[in-house]
Amino acid sequence: MSILTKVLIGLVIVAVFPVLYLAASVLNIQNEWHRKIKDFQAAIDKHEKQYELLLHGDFDAQTHPLVPGKPIVGNPGVMQWQTARDNIMRGAGRVWYGRPQAASISAETGTLKLELFSDEVHLDMNGRSPLNDHGLVDKAFLYVFQMSHTGDLVPGTDKYVGEFVVSGLPPGTNENMIPIKPALPLTAAEWDALKASAATAQWVVYDKMPTDSRDVFVGLTEDEIRRLVPPEVAEEYINDDQTPTKAVTDNPALAEYVVTDPASKKSRFLRPLRDYQTIFQAAAKRLNEMADRVQILSREKAFADQALVNLQMKTIPALDARKARLEKELALVDSELKVVQTLSEKLTASIEQAKQDVVRTVLENKRLLGEAAAGGKTTSLPAPTQPLATVQ
């Protein structure tokens, strides 16, 4: 074997080790990539499964409350939560936070301005930024409530302010001062109260009246419900969508709202859902009617008071003067009546005396006629015992 051949064989042997190392490295890299690909695929499959679970939910799992107090079988996904959110928000409309601008409140023009703020309700209104991009347009109806922007209940302060209309807002206006006016006229007292409370008022404004729903009070305790609703209707809300108790069935006002499923024969108490918009509008109209009636009665009272003053100042003195004149005339008539009575008594006595004289004269004449007829003798008449009374 030649030296060249041996050299070549040596070079080949020397070169084999790097090639073998390189091949082994390539195989290791390939195996590592295959392993990583499998791991990545497993991770992708896991994430896809999680994505599907998050999106569509898993209804083969344990019971889960989609809405508090309304459990469902399974874990809901984003789609179910969105549906639940839409169901809860259905009819609520848009919400703004603001207050009335005190300087703009005018009972003479019947207008005021609503000052809108951002929804950073944890900040004081003076520290919150004005809300210019509000989306309100002219002629839009707004339903205003006096409520704390933080959602804290303030008994005696929280109330329904009224229904208002955006009036005179130019198209495309980009400012937080919204001109509004009441949909129904306010009384002078209501304007005064509105102006007096403007400095501290916190208004929550809706473009749709919130609707009554059973889900609003789900999950609340009995004490929490009693703090939220008037005592007259507390039992309705506490027993709503529950198996009726004896107290419910024994109460005629509640028993009529107990319904029974014909199939399962199970009964539930379902309180009547209220149409707040109709109720508040009717209440506002009734208040206006009462205010008008109060004005009419006040005007009539003013007329009556003036008539009383006139009576006391003019009529009564005139009647007193007339009474005095009549009393004088009565005294004169009484004195004349006494004179007449005296004359009447004398005339009566004279008439009696005249009657007696006439009777005596008639008797005497009969006697004389009888004597004349008997003998023709005449006898002189005796003198009268007393003269006839002279009428004075």
236-295 confidence digits (pLDDT tens): 999 999 999 999 999 998 999 999 988 888 999 999 998 888 998 898 888 888 888 988
- pLDDT-based confidence at 89, cuts 50/70/90? low
pLDDT of residue 1: 61
244, 259 contact by CB (below 8 A): no
Structural domain boundaries of the chain? 58-87, 92-211, 214-273, 277-348
103-156 confidence digits (pLDDT tens): 999 999 999 999 999 988 888 888 889 999 999 999 999 999 999 988 787 877
**Does 305 score more than 50 pLDDT?**
yes
Q: What angle do CA 255, 260, 265 make, to 5 degrees?
A: 135
Listed range (220-229, 258-267, 364-373) with the worst mean pLDDT: 364-373
Report the CATH number of the 92-211 domain.
Answer: 2.40.30
pLDDT of residue 314: 79
pLDDT, mean of residues 344-358:
88
203-212 confidence digits (pLDDT tens): 999 998 888 8
pLDDT of residue 46: 87
pLDDT of residue 166: 96
**Does 75 score more than 60 pLDDT?**
yes
**Does 197 score more than 60 pLDDT?**
yes
